[in-house]
Amino acid sequence: MQEESFDCIILGGGPAGLSSALYARRANLSCAIIDISAIGGTPSNYCEIENYLGFNKINGWELCERFEEHVDKFEVQKFPYEEIKKIDLVSNTKKIVTADKEFSSKTVIIATGAKPRKLNIKGEKENIGHGVSYCAVCDGAFYKNKIVSVIGGGNSALEEALYLTRFAKKVYLIHRRSEFRADKIIQERVKNNYKIELILNYSPVEISGEGKVEKIKLKNTVDFSEIELNTDGIFPYIGLEPNSEYFSGQIKQDENGFIITDNSMKTSQDGVFAIGDIRNTPLRQVITAVADGAIAGVGASKYILENYKDDITNEVGAK
């Protein structure tokens, strides 16, 4: 296998990764993005984003498409659908091996994001694709005039519950407390939507049905009584787990697996940066992800200037 060498390899092609590529390329670094799936990242699956400055409202996929088009003008090499098989972030020259490629790089920016946390209850795993879905944008249209249940009390749960009212005749919003974490403006919209019924102080305990989701059993978190609701679909939005398993043992992570960085996005390993949802950040938004990316792109360039002075030869400029 022939090895491809870069100044900066970015793992993950979501908003954080794309932004870091833009800044790294503009600092003249040769640069590649490796992603396990398509370039674009999680926000491609968001219905609408209305807190990205400059856009009153924009589809997640459209915003990500614009990010990618912008980065494409700077000739960043992209390697979508490449899963990391082996990685060495400890040596001076970082190494990444995928199924059929080998890469080396002076710096690595980790932007692999996070995945939906699972409920881990009976009937969840068995019904994925048969009524349990973690993506309202992908699957919402299958629930025209049906009843769906959304689990969670954060921005994702409330925003996706609202989105699902476009199709479903009824949306149960099931939350384990009586207070939501979501932004107040979204809470107001949820409370004013006649299709959404709030089921507060309940946690799901079991999903059941014959070959597809039909019921969800809930336990009251105050008096521990149980109820059962008829539902055709279940959309858990109960937070995120970092895609950080590849880096265990090489990079310092917090107790939940999120990568610990300083203000410059530097990790515990020289030449390795972490940005976006995978970082132990106080806020996970597209706007904070792209800001992280800018800081890391510049940081990678500084690192190379300090450690590999005469070695940057690539010409850069927008097409």
- Which residues are tagged catalytic? 135, 138-139
- Residue 177 engages ligand NAP in binding (rule: CB under 6 A): yes
Length of the chain as a residue count: 319
Among candidates 181, 148, 177, which has minimal Cα distance to 165? 148
Binding of ligand NAP by 133 (CB under 6 A)? no
**Secondary structure of residue 3 in the 3-state scheme:** strand
Task: Work out the end-to-end distance of the chain between its first and last CA atoms, rounded to an integer number of angstroms.
Answer: 31
Shortest separation between residue 258's beta carbon and ligand NAP, angstroms: 11
Site string for ligand NAP, 43-62 (x = CB under 6 A): ------x-x-----------
Q: Which stretch binds ligand NAP (CB under 6 A): 63-71, 122-130, 231-239, 292-300?
A: 231-239
Q: How far, in Å, CA of 16 to CA of 3, rounded?
A: 26
- Helices 60-72 and 15-26 meet at what angle, rounded to 10? 20
Measured at the CA of 306, the angle between CA 302 and CA 311, to 5 degrees, comes to 95
Cα–Cα distance list, 83 to 87, 112, 280, 315 (Å): 11, 11, 23, 29
Give, as one character, the DSSP assignment of residue 121. -
Encoding tokens for residue 236? 């858990």
Q: Is 100 exposed, middle or buried (0-12, 13-18, 19+ CB in 10 A)?
A: exposed
239 touches ligand NAP (CB under 6 A):
yes
Cα separation of 193 and 183, whole Å? 16
Contact mark string toward ligand NAP, 280..299, x via CB under 6 A: ----xx--------------
- Binding of residue 279 to ligand NAP (CB under 6 A): no
- Minimum gap (Å) between residue 133 Cβ and ligand NAP: 14
Of the listed pieces 24-32, 57-65, 135-143, 235-243, which binds ligand NAP according to CB under 6 A?
A: 235-243
Stretch that binds ligand NAP, among 122-130, 173-181, 189-197, 209-217 (CB under 6 A): 173-181
Is residue 159 a contact point for ligand NAP (CB under 6 A)? yes
Binding status of residue 176 toward ligand NAP by CB under 6 A: yes
The residue sitting closest to ligand NAP, measured at its beta carbon, is 154
- Could you tell me the smallest distance in angstroms from the CB atom of residue 59 to ligand NAP? 13
- Residues engaged in binding ligand NAP (CB under 6 A): 49, 51, 119, 151-157, 159, 176-177, 181, 203, 237-240, 284-285
